[in-house]
Amino acid sequence: MRYVKWTIRILVLVLVFGFFHYTLPQHDIVRIADTYEKRIDFGENSIFWASPDAGNATGGVNRDVFFIQTIQPNGKPMVYRNEDTGFGWPPYFKLDTSNLQTEATDLKSGKDTPQWVSITHYGWRNEFISIYPNAIGVKIISGPDVRIIPWVNIVILSTLAILIFMLWRMWAQFRERSIDPVLEDVGEASDTARGHARGFWARLTGWLGTWRSKPRK
């Protein structure tokens, strides 16, 4: 029983963490080696691709996608896709894909004279299902050791924490003013009413408990 509870908890935690890790912006310090575009036929990885450029037709089975090829300071490669998110999810409102591709191409540099840049992106690179992080912006920086403070993430996560706290306060107020007085009025019959108002966990564990083996007579 305890294992079921913890498995579900950990699963939820991993999902929430994964969601934010995928969606929130991150900065990579890289040197741009080249840029290219390639026709992509979307398959089982289609949810990891964004939308066609804002204003173009949607729903096609394939289209050309911009890519930015980069080398990290440790020498390993990293490839970004460069797509509009438009007004859909995730809410970056990115419409300047072609401009970004132009900037990235302009910042190309060779191994001997590296021009280090910071690429803001969201998403994951995964070779098994051919998915790429989506580049959002590119900025020139002085060197590969620059420290970047993730202000945007700090602001977003703080705002989210405040919103969740507010939601919890609203729920507590609703309970205190609207549910609890009713339960108190019910008096004798309150046992059954309280049974319905019990938490999700209490009900789930109660239900799972009915499956447990009964002691033999």
Partner 1 sequence: MIGMIRLGVFGFLFLTAVFFLVSIYSRSIRREKLEKKWDNEIKTGDRDAYINDGMKDYDLSLRKKLIWLVFVVPVVVVVVLTYITNFM
**Interface ranges with partner 1 (CB under 8 A):** 51, 54-55, 58, 86-88, 91-96, 99, 136-137, 169-170, 173-174, 177
Pick left, alpha or beta for residue 100 (phi over 0 → left; psi -120 to 50 → alpha; otherwise beta). alpha
Nearer to partner 1, 148 or 202 (CB): 148
Task: Between 52 and 67, name the residue whose CB sits nearer to partner 1.
Answer: 52
Whether the CB-CB separation of 89 and 80 falls below 8 Å is answered with no
- The nearest distance, CB 153 to partner 1, in angstroms, is 14
Q: How far is the CB of 155 from partner 1 (least distance, A)?
A: 11
With beta carbons less than 8 A apart as the criterion, state whether 109 and 32 touch. Answer: yes
The residue (of 18 and 91) whose beta carbon lies closer to partner 1 is: 91
Report the nearest approach of partner 1 to the CB of residue 99 (Å): 8
Which residue lies nearer to partner 1 by CB, 31 or 83? 83
d(CA 186, CA 197): 13
> What is the torsion angle, in degrees rounded to the nearest 10, for the CA atoms of residue 7, residue 17, residue 54 and residue 45?
-50
